[in-house]
């Protein structure tokens, strides 16, 4: 399993970045939220193919990350240099944790759910999850947890697409106001 920290300390693609972290507790969300300003990258990050090719990391991009309390996913929202949403990327995980230095992290359970601004919802990396089970990297319990969390998320996303997209913009505005 891959462990991912909010501050992405080993991200070699990013040459210069700024990182901030806040704990949020309001009617819509409870948990940690982080923001990474990608001030300078050594090369842009593209995913997908053809017309579905997306640039996720480039100079001036912003990533916000949510580590909700008592949930089995972490959400990363990628924004371009104009602060427009590129995608909402939900990593299914084995809960969100806090390191001894106070940085949120998660252990990835391979399966991912993506919401694009068009409203399209994607389920990614089912093959990686199945391979992890076959290779005994994860238990059947963790395998089932991943699929169950993905199903709950997809149902939620399908019923709240506009709210999710708008709330991510509002939380970005809040995080941008925080002092480094």
pLDDT of residue 28: 86
> DSSP assignment, residue 50?
G
pLDDT at res. 179? 66
Q: Is the pLDDT of residue 180 over 60?
A: no
Could you tell me the two tokens for 124? Answer: 């990614």
- Residue range 51-80: average pLDDT? 95
Give 24-34 pLDDT, tens digit per residue: 998 889 999 99
Nearest to 3 by CA among 115, 143, 104: 104
What structural domains and CATH numbers belong to the chain?
3-177 (2.40.380.10)
User: What burial class does residue 165 get, using C-beta atoms within 10 Å of its C-beta: 0-12 exposed, 13-18 middle, 19+ buried?
Assistant: middle
* Residue 52 pLDDT greater than 70, yes or no: yes
CB atoms near residue 152 (< 10 Å): 14
Share of the chain above pLDDT 90, in %: 83
The rounded mean pLDDT for the chain is: 94
What's the pTM value of the predicted model, to 2 decimals? 0.94
Section 75-100 average pLDDT:
96
What confidence score (pLDDT) does residue 45 get?
A: 96
Question: At residue 124, does pLDDT exceed 90?
Answer: yes
Give the pLDDT confidence score for residue 1 in this predicted structure. 82
Rounded to an integer, what distance in angstroms lies between the CA atom of residue 141 and that of residue 145?
6
């Amino acid at each position: 399993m891959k462990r991912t920290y909010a501050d992405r300390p080993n991200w070699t693609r990013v040459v210069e970045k700024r990182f901030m972290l806040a704990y949020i507790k309001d009617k819509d969300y409870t948990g940690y939220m982080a923001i990474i300003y990608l001030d300078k990258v050594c090369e842009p990050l593209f995913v997908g193919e053809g017309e579905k090719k997306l640039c996720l990391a480039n100079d001036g991009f912003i990533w916000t990350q949510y580590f909700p309390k008592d949930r089995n996913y972490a959400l990363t929202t990628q924004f371009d240099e104009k602060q427009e949403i590129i995608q909402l990327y939900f990593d299914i995980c084995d809960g969100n944790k806090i390191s001894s230095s106070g940085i949120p992290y998660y252990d990835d359970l391979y399966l991912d759910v993506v919401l694009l601004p068009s409203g399209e919802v994607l389920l990614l990396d089912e093959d990686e999850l199945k391979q992890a089970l076959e290779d005994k990297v994860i238990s059947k319990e963790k395998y089932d947890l991943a699929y169950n969390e993905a199903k709950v998320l997809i149902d939620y996303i399908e019923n709240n697409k506009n709210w999710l997209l708008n709330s991510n913009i509002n939380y970005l505005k809040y995080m941008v106001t925080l002092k480094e």
